[in-house]
Amino acid sequence: MRYQRVCLEALGYTLPSEVVTTDELEYRLAPIYDRLQLPHGRLEFMTGIRERRFFPPGTAPGSIDIESGEKAILASGIDRQEIGALVHGSVCRDFLEPATACKVHHRLSLSADCMIYDISNACLGILSGIIQVANMIELGQIRAGLVLGTECGRPLVENTIKRLNEDESITRRDIKSLIASLTIGSGSVAVLLCAEDLSRAKNSLVAAKVLAHTDHHQLCRSEGLESFMHTDSEQLLHAGIATGVATFSQFLEEVSWKSDELDKTICHQVGVAHRKLLFDALDLDPANDFSSFDRLGNTGAVALPLTLALALEADHMRANDRLALLGIGSGINCQMFGIRWQESRVLGQLERADRKRLTLHSIG
């Protein structure tokens, strides 16, 4: 998929204030650690994740969507009435019916002509939404679109800890399928795309490439964040890297770039082993990458775009950079994007005037 008139205009994000360290989680896992004689520090050593964040218990994802969406709109400077599509793409949602996007649409005071819906594609839900909105913009159906999501990982992590401590039938071998559940964190992000003639930032979406290796769909599955996530982490890691390698070569052809022409990369955030193997397999320089998993954990569908937002705040990008977004999710699905970067517009921490404006729209 190639694009000539789509720009990634702005991002907004919201992080929970509560920080939970991996060290703290391991102290809570003392019953099973003692029973199976597992060494303290094992989880952080295996994953590279030292902490993650959680929203308060009972937080509705849509309520945080509203804050992140408003930030993206403020950062863009685009009239909200120009937004012709709103997509909620995280794993977590308020309810099955109606779409979580309905509440967000109402609270953001968007146009009645705006197409609104939820999309589900595991850790690639927001990226899938970006492709759909970009296609609508390229076709001239809409002028701008907002893709957002919020992951609330607390229930999954806490339920996993409870099960590990209480189920005395769990063995060292059994614990492997539940380790991935302990890497989950929380966060929220919104991505605003628009037509080139409406853009001020001029960050041109050049191309996108998708690839599905669904013969591996059984390697990671969950019935919901209130339940448990069963993951064959080792097989998922190697199958995911293989899918990433296959996608990357096709992506470079689609975007008409060479590997050594990439200036910056942002990848899905899983852990230290995944990052090292992926960059070795793709022969990419980790110095050009920006990661967040060490302090945020795996934040599901928001992980890659949230990390992009944090990279922009850290001045990771420069004008004319060739940026590759490398998404790999369970299924196994892979989605990669090429963007010619120009100007960063991102809003995370709000100034007082902006917070007042956001609050007025949120209660409207």
Lowest average pLDDT, out of 10-14, 81-85, 128-132, 359-363, goes to: 359-363
Is 50 exceeded by the pLDDT of residue 170? yes
Strand-strand pairing, 144-151 and 83-88: parallel
Q: By percentage, how much of the chain surpasses pLDDT 70? A: 88
Say how far apart CA 96 and CA 1 lie, in whole Å.
31
CA 149, 116, 7: angle at the middle one, nearest 5?
70
Grade residue 273 by pLDDT with cuts at 50, 70 and 90: confident
pLDDT band of 217, cuts 50, 70, 90? low
Q: Would you place residue 363 in the very low, low, confident or very high pLDDT band (cuts 50, 70, 90)?
A: very low
Please tell me the number of Cα atoms within 13 Å of 99 on its side-chain side. 18
Give the bridge partners for 21, in sequence order: 51
Amino acid 177: pLDDT: 76
Identify whether the C-beta of residue 147 lies closer than 8 Å to the C-beta of residue 191: yes
The residue-averaged pLDDT of 126-137 equals: 98
When pLDDT is averaged across residues 354-362 and rounded to a whole number, the result is 45
Catalytic positions are 97, 123
What would the CATH number be for the domain defined by 204-347? 3.40.47.10
Q: Is a pLDDT exceeding 80 seen at residue 222?
A: no
pLDDT of 117 strictly over 90: yes
The DSSP code for 2 is B
Burial class (CB in 10 A: 0-12, 13-18, 19+), 272: middle
- DSSP SS3 for 84: strand
**Average pLDDT of the chain to the nearest whole number:** 89
